[in-house]
Structure formats: structure tokens, C-alpha cells
Amino acid sequence: MKVTIVIPTLNEEGGIGPTLDAVDRKAFADAGWDLEFLVVDGNSKDRTRAIAESKGARVLTEPRRGYGRAYKEGFKAATGDILVTGDADGTYPFERAHEYVKLLLDEGLDFVNCDRYGKLEAGAMSTKHLFGNWVLSTTARLLFGIRVHDSQSGMWVIRRAALAGLDIESLGEGMAFSQEVKIEFWKSKGLKAKEVPASLRPRIGTPVLASWRDGIGNLKALYRMRLDRAW
């Protein structure tokens, strides 16, 4: 069994090292699971790629912009049976990645969403983002009838075989990819998805997120997806 840690990066020279180092390689080895680190880099202008390679990651350069585009390429290039995703900014609990993988295996799941609100550390999320995320998660729950508390979490565990039955390429190229991939897993027949309490730490490095543009874009994308889908 092999696990690929898939991480999108855009100018994350401060965060990529600690993010990759956080993964408990010994816990993976003890479980008998092989590990692959795959960084999908958007042509960073800093030392992100060099640092990722120095930590043993395979680095794919994807100059086309977008968080969703990076994951689409990452999902195609990953060779693991199970994928674990997350930002390269030190915010997600990669030190617990093996626990989430075990949960997916033990419970026969196809997707695990790591709920950042399980333990939101001081300064990890601004009031503006707290409000925006609440609006987006509530709208997703109402429009799709899914029981997802944190629709914008970027940490997921995915059974790669399940991706074959989904049209991942049709999902958003940008930040909306995050909510859309969850909705696909929750709504698609025969797939099992679950949310678990996780955590969020303050970011390492400068934020690049355009809050209002991305937030309103994600809200519109939810309505578009609702109109587009049969379920």
C-alpha cells in the first residue's frame, strides 16, 4: 500500500519545508505503507521547488494558474493508492496524516474531510474568513443536503481508485475545487465520505488569497453546480 501526499504550492518557500517535515514518516513505515511526496508547483519565483526536492518530494511544475488545476494535475500524477492533500503553509496537521489514512482504511471510506474547526488555533482564521466560510458551508449544506461542516478545508484523504468514477476535470480551476470535490464524493452513489475533527494553525508566509473575489466566486460556483447536477 502506498500513500501520496499531494501539495499545491505557489511561492511557499517558508512553509513547504515544515509542511513536508511534519509528516510522521516513521508512523507510515511502521504501518508498512510506502510514502510519496508530490508537490504541484505553479512556477514559484522563490525557492519552493528546490526546498521540496531537498526533502525528497517529486516536483511537478504546472504553470497554469489555479488551486484546482494544481490538484487536477496532482491527482493524475500521483501513484499512491491513497492521497492526502493540504496546503504548503504549515496550517494543516500533517503530523496526523497517518491517523486519517488509518481511519479511511478501517472504515472503508473513499474520502475523509479534515474539519479545521475541530481545533482552530488563535490567529488561524480572521473574523472575515470565519464568516465567509460559514456562509459557504451553510449554503453547500442547504443546496446539496450534505452534512459537511467545513466545506473549505484543504485537507482530504482520498482513495485514488474512487477518482476514476468522477469527472474531476470538470470541477473548478480555482479555489472552488475544494468544495466541489467534497460535494462529488458526498453525492456520488456508492462512495463513502466522512468528516473528522482536525485543526488549523496560523499560516507561515504571505497570504495570496483574494478573500472577497474567491469567496463570492465560490458562492456562485455552488449555485452553478446545483443547477448543473442531476442529484
Ligand X SMILES: Nc1nc2c(ncn2[C@@H]2O[C@H](COP(=O)(O)OP(=O)(O)OP(=O)(O)O)[C@@H](O)[C@H]2O)c(=O)[nH]1
Query: Footprint of ligand X on residues 22-51 (CB under 6 A)?
Result: 40-42
- For residue 100, give the nearest of 87, 114, 90, 88 by alpha carbon: 114
Query: Footprint of Mg ion on residues 77-106 (CB under 5 A)?
Result: 87, 89, 91
Is residue 52 within 8 Å of residue 11, measured between CB atoms?
no
Pick one of Mg ion, ligand X, none as the site partner of residue 133 (Cβ within 5 to 8 A by kind). none
Pick the closer one to Mg ion by CB: 122 or 230: 122
Helix, strand, coil % in the chain, rounded to nearest 5 = 45, 15, 40
- 65 touching ligand X, by CB under 6 A: yes
**Torsions phi, psi for 54 (to 5 deg):** -65, -20
- 8 touching ligand X, by CB under 6 A: yes
- 177 touching ligand X, by CB under 6 A: no
- 115 touching Mg ion, by CB under 5 A: no
Under the rule (CB under 5 A), what is the footprint of Mg ion? 87, 89, 91
The residues of the shown chain that bind ligand X, judged by CB under 6 A, are: 8-10, 12, 40-42, 62, 65-67, 70, 87-89, 91, 154, 203, 207-209
